[in-house]
Amino acid sequence: MATSVLIRCLVLFAGLAVASAEAQEASTVNAAAAINSSGTQFPPTGIPVLAVNTSSIPAREDPSLAGQHFRITAVEYSGYVDINEDPSTGKLKYSGYLIDILEELAKPHRANFTYELTPPSGFGSLCKPRLTLNETYPTISDHPEAYHPRYHGQFLCGESEVNDRPLTQYSTDMYWGIYYITPARLKVNKFTIPYAPPDRATTGMMGTATHIRSIHDLVASNNKYAVCSFSGTAFFELLLLTFPQLDIHGIALTDDFHAVMDDGTCEIVIGSFPILKQRVLKLYNDNKCLANGKPIGVIGEPLEYGLNAFAFGIRNDLPDSLVRTLNFWIQALMACFPEDPYGYCPNGQGSTSHLYTLHGGTGKECGYVQFPELDQGGLPVAAIVAIALTPVLLVVAVGMVYHMRQLKQQERRMKKRFIQQLARNIDIGESAREISAQKLSEAFQHIGGQDGLISKEDLAKWMNDLHLDFLSEQDFNRLWDAMDMDGTGYVDPIDFFAFLNACGEEFKEVNQEWDALPKSEKMKLAMLRLSNIKEKGEEEVQKMQRRHNKRSRMQMPGLAKGNPLGTSGADTSFFSEMSQL
């Protein structure tokens, strides 16, 4: 157990290895050479390239594609493949978990290939509506609708550009996205091995409906609920064939989930289980947890059968050696041990588990309850009871609204207090994603996670800070419950990062307060940075704090005048109090 947790810790929060000058120079040359015609550069500008000192690595002969170039159709799905236009250049930019995997596979010290990314063009046989070439538009570049954003999320459209015959101007070598391996696709194209995470990708449900355990319960409900699924995907047709009793409304993967549930179009959405969990997390981060006043969440358990593995599709006539090489490196990045300095992902760089850390979710972030305790069935004398209980119910309703508001305020308060404490140790930005893996790893270990886990006592000791707002026992217990999501009694790196990822608004608020501080106040805070503690030792930093505290008490009247966050000594702002160090 301890070994498993340690591996997860290293995978999640590994920092970059110290690069030798020779390896860094080689990475720069390779990066400059690999710019494709679509404007997508590999590696992308501004992303650090892991430079490994290869002089001490034992020689090994790993499969390589020797710099071959491929055209790849990338199909959009938020968080996995994101496609955005750069307003300054007009070119498309690609990002997301699967793009990260592609970049890692293509690196010169791995599969070693270059690539050109395009979204679905719209000319494939399964595109809707399908575009055609004619005398007016003899080439793809002439057609004004080619690569239109309406096609970016059409999975069937994307795969047809690989599988259509004969090969044409729009043909590509691979399709890249959250594609299921299906019997129909295996007949017309090759596949890589499934990538993981996510590990279990069978069909599940999300929405606002309650008292449903599975899709079989949904079928038995006789269309009591408005059910939706994703048209233009492999499992949509299978759902219609497998469950003909269900009246399933087709929606697009790019549709606004909250809008279709809030307007009553969908009470339940059927889709891939890990994708649904990610959608709930996104709704939570966007503060859109309620639809028609009901919390949204993952419903019940996914099916035990059906489509269950994601992989990348490859054109059938391309050599098997291409598939074997990609399979080798995909497996290497899924199975590598980060602590092995001679392994395939030293320090976790390139590990698929490491790349997946910002995605996922539990499906419970919005407070959805599958079987609400207060849900009441119909009563024989419902009208009489309703009249009798109306005053009581009104009081209860007001009390519940007040209670929910208090809980929300408490949640924000304790989250902000945590981010304030974190800001004393490391530089933060407007989200957890702006903090490097190395810094997050150092913070995790400083709080108490040297053994890969943070205990409740570790967190209490770290949060005990006289210079910040007092945290009540009730607030602290709620903070701990929010971090220890699985109730194990400890916080591992996955729990830690998932909590930080849910503190978007609090990061922004604390970061804005930090930006408002004058340089002199920021310099005072620098003594609490982990780098300073590492250099001077914790005991010496504590002495520095005591000296500053003593000096502050002697100079208290004068400090208020220079405080940009307030002019009164009673100001309770976080950084106002911190400036009294």
At 295, list the tokens: 């919390």
The fraction of the chain above a pLDDT of 90, given in percent, is: 34
What pLDDT sits at residue 531? Answer: 77
pLDDT exceeds 60 at position 10 = no
- Mean pLDDT lowest for which of 368-372, 495-499, 569-573? 569-573
Interatomic CA distance for residues 498 and 415, integer angstroms: 13
How many C-beta atoms lie closer than 10 Å to residue 454's C-beta?
24
Burial category of 166 from C-beta neighbours within 10 Å (exposed 0-12, middle 13-18, buried 19 and up): exposed
Tokens 């604390």 belong to 510
- Mean pLDDT lowest for which of 315-329, 345-359, 518-532? 518-532
**Residue of 405, 409, 407, 376 lying closest to 393 (CA atoms):** 376
Interatomic CA distance for residues 529 and 192, integer angstroms: 45
What pLDDT sits at residue 572? Answer: 37
> Does residue 235 contact residue 308 with C-beta atoms inside 8 Å?
no
pLDDT exceeds 90 at position 441 = no
At 570, list the tokens: 């009673």
pLDDT tens per residue across span 66-120: 999 999 999 999 889 999 999 999 999 999 999 999 999 999 999 999 999 999 9
> Does residue 245 contact residue 224 with C-beta atoms inside 8 Å?
no
Residue of 164 and 580 predicted with greater confidence: 164
Q: Please, which pLDDT band fits residue 31 given cuts at 50, 70 and 90? A: very low
At 566, list the tokens: 């307030």
Interatomic CA distance for residues 288 and 282, integer angstroms: 9
Residue of 189 and 21 predicted with greater confidence: 189
- Mean pLDDT lowest for which of 58-62, 301-305, 328-332? 58-62
> Does residue 473 contact residue 434 with C-beta atoms inside 8 Å?
no
Mean pLDDT over residues 253-257, rounded?
A: 80
| Average pLDDT value for the chain | 79
What amino acid occupies position 480?
Answer: W
Residue of 403 and 332 predicted with greater confidence: 332
pLDDT exceeds 80 at position 404 = no
The β-bridge relationship of strands 310-315 and 174-180 is antiparallel
Interatomic CA distance for residues 427 and 421, integer angstroms: 11
- CA geometry: angle 393, 398, 399, nearest 5 deg: 95
- Mean pLDDT lowest for which of 71-75, 365-369, 496-500? 496-500
Most confident of 131-145, 295-309, 491-505: 131-145
> Does residue 495 contact residue 483 with C-beta atoms inside 8 Å?
yes
Alpha carbon of 62 to those of 38, 67, 107, 333: distances in Å?
29, 14, 13, 13
| 3-class secondary structure, 85 | strand
| 3-class secondary structure, 311 | strand
For the chain, the C-alpha Rg in angstroms (whole number) is 27
> Does residue 267 contact residue 208 with C-beta atoms inside 8 Å?
yes
What residues form DSSP beta bridges with 114?
69
What pLDDT sits at residue 481? Answer: 86
Q: Please, which pLDDT band fits residue 470 given cuts at 50, 70 and 90? A: low
pLDDT exceeds 70 at position 494 = yes
What ranges in 448-518 are assigned the alpha helix state H? 456-463, 473-483, 493-501, 504-515
pLDDT tens per residue across span 145-177: 999 999 999 999 999 999 999 999 999 999 999
What pLDDT sits at residue 115? Answer: 98
Name the pTM for this structure: 0.55
